[in-house]
């Protein structure tokens, strides 16, 4: 999503950027890796943890797609 792209574009920490990007790339191979958590109350939303950051994403099984909705620090990511 545009929100996730903007977050990645604004990162200044190259190491964190690499880790987040690697986690997102891994979702192409396995949409539900070990350590992913299904979000309560949401039928197809999951999160994965990368250090103190969370990646929120949606899995569309019929189309075999994964859409990264949001990336952010753990204390801010769940605020809408």
Where are the domains positioned within the chain?
A: 2-73
Residues 21-37: pLDDT tens digits? 999 999 999 999 999 99
**35 φ/ψ angles, rounded to the nearest 5 degrees:** 95, -10
Fold for the domain defined by 2-73: YaeB-like fold (3.30.2310)
Mean pLDDT over the full length of the chain: 92
- Model-level pTM greater than 0.85? yes
Terminal-residue alpha carbon distance, the chain: 15
**From CA 80, how far away is CA 31, in angstroms rounded?**
24
Contacts of residue 2, Cβ cutoff 8 Å, sequence gap at least 6 = none
């Amino acid at each position: 999503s545009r929100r996730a792209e903007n977050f990645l574009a604004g990162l200044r920490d190259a190491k964190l950027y690499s880790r987040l990007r690697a986690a997102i790339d891994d979702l192409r191979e396995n949409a539900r890796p070990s350590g992913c958590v299904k979000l309560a109350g949401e039928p197809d939303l999951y999160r994965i943890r990368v250090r103190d950051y969370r990646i929120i994403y949606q899995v569309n099984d019929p189309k075999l797609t994964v859409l990264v909705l949001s990336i952010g620090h753990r204390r801010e990511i769940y605020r809408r």
